[in-house]
Every structure is written in structure tokens, then in C-alpha cells.
Amino acid sequence: MKLFDEHNFIQQLSIDCVIFGYKEKELKVLISKVKVELDIYTLPGGFIKQEESIDEAAKRILEERTGLKDIFLEQYRVFGEPFRINHEIFENINSLKKEWLEQGVLDENDIKWLSKRFVSIGYYALVDINKVSPQKGLFDESVDWYNVKELPSMIMDHNKMVQFALETLRLFLDQKLIGFNLLPETFTIREVQELYEAVYDKPFARNNFQKKILDLDVLERLEKKFTGAANKAPYLYRFRN
């Protein structure tokens, strides 16, 4: 079975996605564990079909990995250093090569395709983690969420990819008001502050932060959130598009 060739995909060009989610006051990243003997981790990614644009490819890959459409997705950097080769994976594939060939998982051309140097286009996505149903790819043993501060060591430059994506997220969190993509449909100001603190990895003064967010005039106030003390119950908000 020939999975990869120049008739179907653009050679030596790939897309890798940093998928950010947020839960329990932690900023998280979706990471795949490769189905080989050692503990090898990688960002979700894929290749670009000959007939699709790079944005279309990124959207397809994100939908395949999260089950979601119409999520915030943006290109942030291209990674093309000459050492970008999957040495870690292919040292293990050598021991599995015979088994995979016999099972028809890969053929010789597939292995040759995957062993080349790739230039990768980096995208980052922001999702409501509660709506995501992580999907394993052909070579994945597992796909799980990891705290951005406690990521495993990944192949090639994937840890660096996450760092650049995080820097981009911090840069545009206010400017583009993109952080609300990480929250459920309704939220409190306190929950917005906790999100910002997780992204920037530092605390914010409560009164100043609340004023800053309300002054943006981008939130629609709904009702008080029940806490058992009606006079102190926080208001629920929704982002006004």
C-alpha cells in the first residue's frame, strides 16, 4: 500500500499543528505518542495534497485530529533547518520495518518518503477543549493533552514549534482578542483572568484586569452565575463577535 508519493502529496513539505486547549486553569497542547518501542512524541501533522492550498490542508488535518470544523487556526512560522529529519523515529522503524512491510502498513517507497528532510509550515489552533474528541493517526499509539509547561521531549524541533506558537499567542491575545476561542460559550471575568494567567504564566491584579477587559467592550453580560450567595454571584458573559 503506497501512502505517500508525489502524485498525491507535495514532496518534502509538511504541516505541523500546535493545538492549544484550556482546562482547570492550565494551558494545554495536544500531543501524539508514536507507535514505536521508545517513548517518542510529536505534534499532530500531515502532508499537503497536490490539489489543495496549505490553509485547506491545515483545516483538514485539524478536523481529522479534533473532529471540529470552523476553529481558530493561523499560520505563524515556517521551519526549514537542514537537520529536520526524523532520526528518532527511523532508528526505531528499522526494527519494525519487516513487521510493517509484512502487515502492509507501509511499503519501501513510503519509508523512503518519510525518511527525507521536510520543511514544515507551522499552524496554531485554539479550541474549546470540552468539544474536542482527539483522533489517533495511522502511526499514533495515543493522542493526549499535556500542560504547556510539562511537555514531553518531542522529535526534531517540535518543542521549539510550541514555544514559538506560545509566543505568538501571547502577542495576539489582546490585539486580536483570540483567547476567547479557548473558553466555553459563557464564562465569568474571573475565568477570563485565569486563562490569561495560564497563557502568560503570571498573576494579574484582579481589579485592574476586570476593568481592562470590560473597557474593551467586547463582552455581552448575561446573568449571575449561581454560587449560593445571590448578592455575590459573578455575572456570566459571552464574547460579542
Residue 33 lies in a domain: yes
The answer to whether residues 121 and 154 belong to one domain is yes
R_g over Cα of the chain: 21
**What would the grid cell of residue 91 be?**
532508528
Phi, psi of 16 (to 5 degrees): -120, 135
**What would the grid cell of residue 117 be?**
528532510
3-state secondary structure labels for all residues of 194-213:
HHHHHHHCCCCCHHHHHHHH
Last-in-domain residue among 117, 144, 172: 172
- Domain range holding 218? 183-239
The answer to whether residues 195 and 85 belong to one domain is no
| 142 vs 120: CA distance, rounded Å | 22
| 194 vs 204: CA distance, rounded Å | 9
**Where residue 226 sits, what CATH number does that domain have?**
1.10.10.10
Give pTM, 2 decimals. 0.89
The answer to whether residues 110 and 212 belong to one domain is no
Counted domains in the chain: 2
pLDDT digit string (tens) for the chain, length 241 residues: 456 777 789 988 999 999 999 999 999 999 999 877 778 899 999 999 999 999 999 999 999 999 998 899 999 999 998 877 666 666 665 665 666 666 666 677 777 777 778 899 999 999 999 999 998 887 788 999 999 999 998 988 999 999 999 999 999 998 888 999 999 999 999 999 999 999 999 999 999 999 999 998 999 998 877 655 556 778 899 998 7
The answer to whether residues 43 and 77 belong to one domain is yes
Last-in-domain residue among 150, 172, 194: 172
| 227 vs 94: CA distance, rounded Å | 58
The 10 Å Cβ neighbour count of residue 10 is 15
The answer to whether residues 46 and 153 belong to one domain is yes
Pairing of strands 26-34, 41-42: antiparallel
The answer to whether residues 155 and 63 belong to one domain is yes
